[in-house]
């Protein structure tokens, strides 16, 4: 099967061809662990989890290596630890545990490797020594800086002019820089900051710059050149541009990664998310009100390269969609393989909106003698076959992994409902309806509704109930 992915470097959608089909390699920039991750941070986590799952499906789980780093040395970390009066290690460990809990609740698989920056200082120093030796970096005022003019193709990923890059990087033109665009590979540590013996003959201890961290970890776990590098669109410049410069110059390679992928921005109710705007929301806060599966589906309803608007209405719609799907599949087992048309949608540059349309079609298979637009592409599945393929297809993107009965039980427990009382009221309402005592029937329905329970009357005279989403 042909997988096509959009490459930010070439600005085109291309057929994905791994360097080695038996070792497909992907690197994604992970969190800086100083505070709870916000919903914008969740987008690349979910997007590249879907890609990880798809690659495992296409090439075999044992043949795919997914590396997502943890940045645990950074100015933000130092500032937050000082603000809270806690040791840096204590802050990063707790924040890392919180992050793992949050992304697990979003239905994300653990990466194959989750390296920490502080565990790869020696690799960073080796890269820096190489860059100094090749003339691509220099020592100045106890700093090591990358010499941007030494990299003729610098700026190829972001396709920005020099003036745009200087403005976009908010460059600090320090007096020891040879060129305004030069960036830090290593810097001296201030008292109380993490510090290691410095490379390149520098006597004072120091710590790495942000960009060299990812180059070193990618090299350690994936090699000099690998298949896919991913992250948010905000990382294209300067972070990914600088990664490319460091890695290509250190190893004298034409490419760092064969394909560069970036997810679009996230807004909240039509506005940029910011604490000053009062719309800043963490994953942890959202999980207090919504199941992680709802957050995941809501994210996947927009194509990953497009901007997405995070709204309450969207969450409510996603919750209702999941409820309908769970009602449709009941407690059936999944099919051995997902539906082929569903996989085809994912293979078209992770077209999750189109894939979700396929799931809707499987949830509403054609009645005998009738046809739905597009259902022929699903092989005209009906009944339990459609249910089983709905489940197996949704599971490929991390949805519908529970049984409907267990999902209902969780909802009941979360709402602290008394099932015996509800069943008694439903039975009493059925009796009232049969005796045409509609005022009593309506009264009981309203009483049940106030408990957060929704009733559904069926043509055969039976009534089922569910917890309101």
DSSP structure string for 351-405: -HHHHHHHHHHHHSPPPTT---TTGGGGT---HHHHHHHHHHHHHHTT---S-HH
Bridge-based pairing of strands 64-68 and 24-28 is parallel
pLDDT tens digit string along 220-254? 999 999 999 999 999 999 999 999 999 999 999 99
pLDDT tens digit string along 444-467? 999 999 888 888 887 667 787 877
As beta bridge partners, residue 348 has 4
**Residue 16: which pLDDT band, with cuts at 50, 70 and 90?**
very high
What average pLDDT is seen over the chain?
91
Cα 394 from Cα 401, distance rounded (Å): 8
The answer to whether 264 touches 308, Cβ cutoff 8 Å, is yes
Separation of first and last alpha carbons in the chain: 38
The answer to whether 65 touches 24, Cβ cutoff 8 Å, is yes
Determine the pLDDT at residue 406: 52
C-alpha distances in angstroms, 374 versus 115, 166, 355, 436? 44, 50, 12, 44
Return the beta strands (E) in 292-368 as ranges: 308-310
Determine the pLDDT at residue 334: 80
Q: What is the pTM of this model?
A: 0.85
**Residue 369: which pLDDT band, with cuts at 50, 70 and 90?**
very low
As beta bridge partners, residue 457 has 463
Mapped onto helix, strand or coil, the DSSP state of residue 110 is coil
The answer to whether 465 touches 457, Cβ cutoff 8 Å, is no
Calculated CA dihedral for residues 385, 387, 391, 393, nearest 10 degrees: 60
For 139, the token pair is: 């020592």
Q: How many CB atoms lie within 10 A of CB 138?
A: 19
Determine the pLDDT at residue 432: 87
Mean pLDDT, rounded, for 400-425: 68
Cα 322 from Cα 38, distance rounded (Å): 23
Residue 395: which of 337, 327, 314 has the closest Cα?
337
Determine the pLDDT at residue 381: 60
Residue 407 reports pLDDT greater than 60: no
Determine the pLDDT at residue 386: 86
Cα 47 from Cα 99, distance rounded (Å): 16
Determine the pLDDT at residue 375: 40
Determine the pLDDT at residue 368: 41
Residue 164 reports pLDDT greater than 90: no
pLDDT tens digit string along 79-108? 999 999 999 999 999 999 999 999 999 999
For 373, the token pair is: 């637009």
Q: Which residues contact 420 (CB under 8 A, 6 or more apart)?
A: none
**Residue 418: which pLDDT band, with cuts at 50, 70 and 90?**
confident
Cα 435 from Cα 382, distance rounded (Å): 38
Mapped onto helix, strand or coil, the DSSP state of residue 221 is helix
> Topology of domain 4-263, per CATH?
Rossmann fold (3.40.50)
The answer to whether 309 touches 270, Cβ cutoff 8 Å, is yes
Segment of 191-205, 362-376, 426-440 carrying the highest mean pLDDT = 191-205
Mapped onto helix, strand or coil, the DSSP state of residue 263 is strand
As beta bridge partners, residue 145 has 138, 184
């Amino acid at each position: 099967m042909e997988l096509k992915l959009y490459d930010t470097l070439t600005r085109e959608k291309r057929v994905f061809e791994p360097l080695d089909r038996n070792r497909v390699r992907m690197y994604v920039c992970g969190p800086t662990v100083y505070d709870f991750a916000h919903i914008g941070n969740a987008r690349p986590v979910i997007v590249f989890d879907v890609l990880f799952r798809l690659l495992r499906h296409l090439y075999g789980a044992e043949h795919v290596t997914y590396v997502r780093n943890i940045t645990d040395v950074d100015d933000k970390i130092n500032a937050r630890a000082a603000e809270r009066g806690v040791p840096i290690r204590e802050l990063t460990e707790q924040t890392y545990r919180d992050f793992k809990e949050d992304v697990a609740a979003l239905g994300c698989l653990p990466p194959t490797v989750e390296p920490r920056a502080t565990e790869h200082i020696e690799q960073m120093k080796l890269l820096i020594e190489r860059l100094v030796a090749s003339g691509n970096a220099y020592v100045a005022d106890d700093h090591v800086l990358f010499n941007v003019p030494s990299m003729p193709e610098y700026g190829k990923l972001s396709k920005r002019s020099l003036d745009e890059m200087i403005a976009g990087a908010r460059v600090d033109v320090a007096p020891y820089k040879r060129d305004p665009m030069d960036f830090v590979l290593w810097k001296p540590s201030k008292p109380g900051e993490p510090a290691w013996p410095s490379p390149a003959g520098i006597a004072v201890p120091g710590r790495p710059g942000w960009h060299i961290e990812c180059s070193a970890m990618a090299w350690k776990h994936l090699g000099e050149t690998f298949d896919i590098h991913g992250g948010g669109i905000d990382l294209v410049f300067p972070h990914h541009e600088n990664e490319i410069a460091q890695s290509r110059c250190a190893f004298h390679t034409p490419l760092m990664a064969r394909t560069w992928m970036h997810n679009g921005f996230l807004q909240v109710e039509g506005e940029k998310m910011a604490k000053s705007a009062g719309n800043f929301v963490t994953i942890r806060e959202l999980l207090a009100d919504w199941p992680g599966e709802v957050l995941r589906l809501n994210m996947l309803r927009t194509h990953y390269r497009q901007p997405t608007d995070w709204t309450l209405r969207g969450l409510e719609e996603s919750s209702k969609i999941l409820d309908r799907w769970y009602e449709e599949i009941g407690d059936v087992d999944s099919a051995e393989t997902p539906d082929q048309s569903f996989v085809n949608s994912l293979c078209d540059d992770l077209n999750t909106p189109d894939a979700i349309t396929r799931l809707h079609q499987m949830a509403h298979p054609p009645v005998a003698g009738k046809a739905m637009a597009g259902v022929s592409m699903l092989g005209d599945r009906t009944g339990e076959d459609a249910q089983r393929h709905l489940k197996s297809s949704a599971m490929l993107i991390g949805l519908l992994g529970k049984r409907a009965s267990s999902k209902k039980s969780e909802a009941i427990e979360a709402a602290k409902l008394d099932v015996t009382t509800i069943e008694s009221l439903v039975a009493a309402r059925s009796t009232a309806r049969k005796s045409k005592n509609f005022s009593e029937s309506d009264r009981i329905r309203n009483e049940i509704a106030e408990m957060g329970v929704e009733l559904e009357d069926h043509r055969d005279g039976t009534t089922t109930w569910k917890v309101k989403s």
